Amino acid sequence: MSAPPDLFASRWVELPAHARTVPEGGLAAGFRAAGVACGIKPSGRTDLGVLVCDAPDAVSAARFSRSGALAAPVLLTQERCELGALRAVIANSGNANAATGRQGYEHAAKTQGAAAALLGLDPAQVAIASTGVIGVPLPVERLIAGLRDAGEVLRPDGDADLWAAIRTTDAFEKRVTLDVELSGGTIRISAQAKGAGMISPAFATMLCFVQTDAALAQETAELLLGVTVKRSFDRVSVDGQLSTNDTVVLIASGASAVSVAPESDDELRLGEALDQLLRALAIALVRDGEGSEHVGRVIVRGGDPDGVERAARGVANSPLVKAALHGGDPNWGRIAAAVGQALPGTAPLPFDIAIEGIAVCAAGAALPHDAAALDAAVGGPEVEYEVGLPGEGAETEVFFSDLSHDYVSINAEYTS
Amino acid sequence: MSAPPDLFASRWVELPAHARTVPEGGLAAGFRAAGVACGIKPSGRTDLGVLVCDAPDAVSAARFSRSGALAAPVLLTQERCELGALRAVIANSGNANAATGRQGYEHAAKTQGAAAALLGLDPAQVAIASTGVIGVPLPVERLIAGLRDAGEVLRPDGDADLWAAIRTTDAFEKRVTLDVELSGGTIRISAQAKGAGMISPAFATMLCFVQTDAALAQETAELLLGVTVKRSFDRVSVDGQLSTNDTVVLIASGASAVSVAPESDDELRLGEALDQLLRALAIALVRDGEGSEHVGRVIVRGGDPDGVERAARGVANSPLVKAALHGGDPNWGRIAAAVGQALPGTAPLPFDIAIEGIAVCAAGAALPHDAAALDAAVGGPEVEYEVGLPGEGAETEVFFSDLSHDYVSINAEYTS
């Protein structure tokens, strides 16, 4: 595995002045975590993670994939958990427990029951998350045996082990610890996320667990997670493929004793930090998209929010645009075609296109431009595309990876 | 260029008993065609094609891309032609004349005017079609000089040259001549089509020209082309990318003196032949999709026509499904995920999946199956996937190519 890059190095992320990364990592106060190998992954790698919050009055919020083929752990967590009062997450990689029917649901329920017993919690406080191959029965006995092992090694600095337990094809760590200055003192946020394929629309094939020791009302956790997920994991695409298992869970322990009141300045400050943290993780998912070597950002502006959204998704998901990004090809005609496809029946549509600030198309027609400058601009690790549609007032962005030979290799040769 | 395969060799195409291919090719009676190199393609390859119908009372029908970024030739042909009475098509490759604004429109108009003068036709009888790079001015002077050259070499067996003039990244010929027995005698249909990338939804990045010497009412031409395009080019996807330039033109010369009356048995017989011909060409576009080595067919059945359509498109356009098809990977979980993505908010959706007749998933849950048999079944050149959704009465199909290293190479390294 490559060394973890600085997740805040992207020019599209800016940590607010009142937040700083904690290089040595570690969980927010009030949390312990562990990761063990329980034998789900044939490789013998770590594949089972446990996160637990020791505060009885923890509050939480969660978001999930909207797939019609939701995996059993997502269905179970949605149906059987108290999503505002979660205290633990059991996560495995190597098996998605998706398209596994009633048996899969029972396996998720057994896992939840076993974890609750071992951790001394109510089952409704234990969320279950899985990622890996679809349509294969979960080896639930191994998982439950692994839970016992994990229970013995729970540690306040177990975030690295937890991250290792949820990784699949991820090439680098996506794990952050932040200290955030609020009026009442310093609070900590820690987060672990995994990509790396099947990443798109309503927020990516991904798992992300976020912990904070701030003391929050449940409504605040709900509000902050809702807004920041919409601005981060909802805005990325590796391959336009929505997963069956996407899960984001935020738990607040209150262990710092620093309270964040609703609609306070501190709520705003905490939100800003969480926003940039999730944005950094989301962009890291794209950067670490399967086979990805470049990250694109498309910004679309216009008068119709729905059209702006469709155009941005259309560009971000176009395999032709992605292949051009991979090859450093300044082929903006593919942007034009993707916009045209996203907005059928609107021809002749007067759209504008700029790449890295170089205007290449205005009102639907090519503009003379410095081809050498454009060539140089599209060869970098991050490339920004701007599309203007008629009207104003609506704007959106999508971050996307390129389409590489490695994406094909990973997905043609690896049953994931 | 590879030798042209038998376009009717696919198990998904069946030529009706009253039709037979004409191996030596050639255009239907009443047509002449030519292809010349006019200097648009830097390679010096043939890049300008002319098709003309010598019958003053020819009838025609046409279909176009619905992109919001329609190319100038498509806009011009839609706005300035009498689409039911076309007598010529001028087609170039190497330049799409798309995203070229007012200047592009004028270039298309000049081409139309020059062709009309040279061929002795009304400009409204001359359709213009282009394919190639987007956003680069068309070298219209070269094109018009080329028209004069082409006018001197128009031949009844010019279909091969016409095909060569419209090819871009096509690896093999997509050109068919059929004789069809009707009650009044034998009529001929000839057709030329090009792929090979930017192929999807409302019918593919493609040009297709169809000629017949049957005598048709314009309404019959319209009806037959409308129905058969919906069942062929509307049902294929190489990469889910709708082109700016898609154009299909059918012209009937009547030169056989065999009339086909509306709502007659002969209309049905002609329709059947045209249907299988366009289906064969559409599947050939997929087989020759950029980098394609395998052709998939997904059939979706259920009660909701819109849901059936979205699920079929979702599977056909999924890069994960396409990569699995490429690798001969029996990874049906990706089919499940694609269906779930296409039908958000419906979980738990009781869908069924079969691959090459082997049932792998019922009511949303994995079924025990013969893994060796499935492995063998997905390694072939054509793989069939069936998806069952709740309800009945709606059914659709989409043909799709796999996602290969060559697709990435072609589109990362080639400005098309």
| Inter-chain CB proximity B135 and A104 less than 8 Å | no
Nearest Cα residue to A379 out of A323, A322, A319, A330: A330
Question: CB–CB of B91/B209 below 8 Å?
Answer: yes
Among chain B residues, the shortest Cα distance to A363 is held by B101
Domain ranges for chain A = 19-287, 295-413
Q: Which residues of B touch A99 (CB under 8 A)?
A: 333, 336, 361, 364-366
Interstrand relation of B259-260 and B215-216 (parallel, antiparallel or unpaired): parallel
* A340 contact B CB<8A: yes
pLDDT at position B68 over 60: yes
Write the CB contacts of A251 (distance below 8 Å, at least 6 apart in sequence): A31, A51, A53, A58, A59, A60, A86, A87, A89, A209, A210, A211, A212
Cα separation, B410 vs B404, whole angstroms: 10
Provide the pLDDT for residue B55. 97
Residue whose pair of structure tokens reads 């060394």 in the numeric block: A3
Cα separation, A333 vs A324, whole angstroms: 10
Share of chain A above pLDDT 70, in %: 92
pLDDT at position B238 over 70: no
pLDDT at position B241 over 60: yes
Assess whether the region A19-287 and the region A295-413 belong to the same CATH fold.
no
Shortest distance, CA A98 to any CA of chain B (angstroms): 8
| Inter-chain CB proximity A68 and B340 less than 8 Å | yes
Provide the pLDDT for residue B1. 46
Facing residue for A340 by CB, picked from B70, B137, B360: B70
Facing residue for A99 by CB, picked from B333, B407, B409: B333
Which CATH number applies to B19-287? 3.60.70.12
Q: How many CB atoms lie within 10 A of CB B341?
A: 27
Nearest Cα residue to A251 out of A115, A125, A109: A125
State the architecture of B295-413 in CATH terms. Answer: Roll (3.10)
Provide the pLDDT for residue B184. 95
| Inter-chain CB proximity B134 and A202 less than 8 Å | no
Mean pLDDT for all residues in chain B: 90
Mean pLDDT for all residues in chain A: 90
pLDDT at position A200 over 50: no
Q: What confidence category does residue B204 fall into, taking pLDDT thresholds of 50, 70 and 90?
A: very low
Provide the pLDDT for residue B410. 63
Give mean pLDDT, residues A349-362: 95
Among chain B residues, the shortest Cα distance to A403 is held by B408
The C-alpha angle with vertex A53 and arms to A51 and A59, in degrees rounded to 5, equals: 115
Higher local confidence (pLDDT), A374 or A240: A374
**Which three-class secondary structure state does DSSP give residue A211?**
strand
| Inter-chain CB proximity B415 and A137 less than 8 Å | no
| Inter-chain CB proximity A411 and B319 less than 8 Å | yes
- What backbone torsions phi and psi does residue A126 show, to the nearest 5 degrees? -115, 110
Before B23, cis peptide (omega within 30)?
A: no
pLDDT at position B2 over 50: no
| Inter-chain CB proximity B340 and A239 less than 8 Å | no
Q: Which residues of B are part of the catalytic machinery?
A: 205
Give mean pLDDT, residues A165-190: 92
Higher local confidence (pLDDT), A175 or A287: A175
Facing residue for B411 by CB, picked from A320, A333, A344: A320
pLDDT at position B199 over 80: no
Interface of A with B in 249-288 (CB under 8 A): none
What tens digit of pLDDT does each residue of B209-227 get? 999 999 999 999 999 999 9
| Inter-chain CB proximity A320 and B197 less than 8 Å | yes
pTM over 0.95: no
Provide the pLDDT for residue A65. 87
pLDDT at position A203 over 50: no
Question: CB–CB of A143/A36 below 8 Å?
Answer: no
Helices then strands, counting H and E runs in chain B, come out as: 11, 19
What tens digit of pLDDT does each residue of A75-88 get? 999 999 999 999 99
* B84 contact A CB<8A: no
Question: CB–CB of A177/A22 below 8 Å?
Answer: yes
- What backbone torsions phi and psi does residue A155 show, to the nearest 5 degrees? -140, 150
User: E-assigned strands of B229-269?
Assistant: 236-237, 247-252, 259-260
pLDDT at position B200 over 60: no
Facing residue for A69 by CB, picked from B133, B240, B347: B347
pLDDT at position A169 over 90: no
What tens digit of pLDDT does each residue of A385-415 get? 999 999 999 999 999 888 777 766 666 654 4
Which of A30-34, B278-282, B326-330, B338-342 shows the lowest mean pLDDT across its residues? B326-330
DSSP track, B180-202 = EEETTEEEEEEEEEE--SS--TT
* B341 contact A CB<8A: yes
